[in-house]
Amino acid sequence: MSEDMIKTIKGLLASGKGNQKRLREIIEAVKTGEPIVMSDYRYIQNLLESPNDADTEQPQVIVQPKRDTSLELLRVRLAEGQISIEEFRVLKKALTEEE
């Protein structure tokens, strides 16, 4: 169950739906074995059921440059341990220098 929940939330993060900070906090809670509170569970269900309602909830996601999405993905990869902090810093610098 927890692995499925983590995959679901990662999918929401990647698609830009919902509050990125809240979703990352829910992932951390699941990873540490804490039970998900009902409000978080309903929040995730609502995001999954709404086709593109999250876009109207956070229009800045559409307006922001693609670099911000790339930085969010880097942060997720760092949090998951897929990349080291040094790799994160190098990649972040490369992304932000393009501006």
Q: Which value, in Å, is the radius of gyration of the alpha carbons in the chain?
A: 14
Instruction: Determine the pLDDT at residue 52.
Output: 58
CA distance 55 to 21: 16
Mean pLDDT of all residues in 23-39: 87
CA distance 27 to 21: 10
Angle, vertex CA 94, rays to CA 89 and CA 97, nearest 5:
115
Residue with tokens 């990352």: 24
Q: Please say whether the beta carbons of 73 and 24 come within 8 A.
A: no
Mean pLDDT of all residues in 27-53: 83
Mean pLDDT of all residues in 8-32: 89
pTM of the model: 0.50
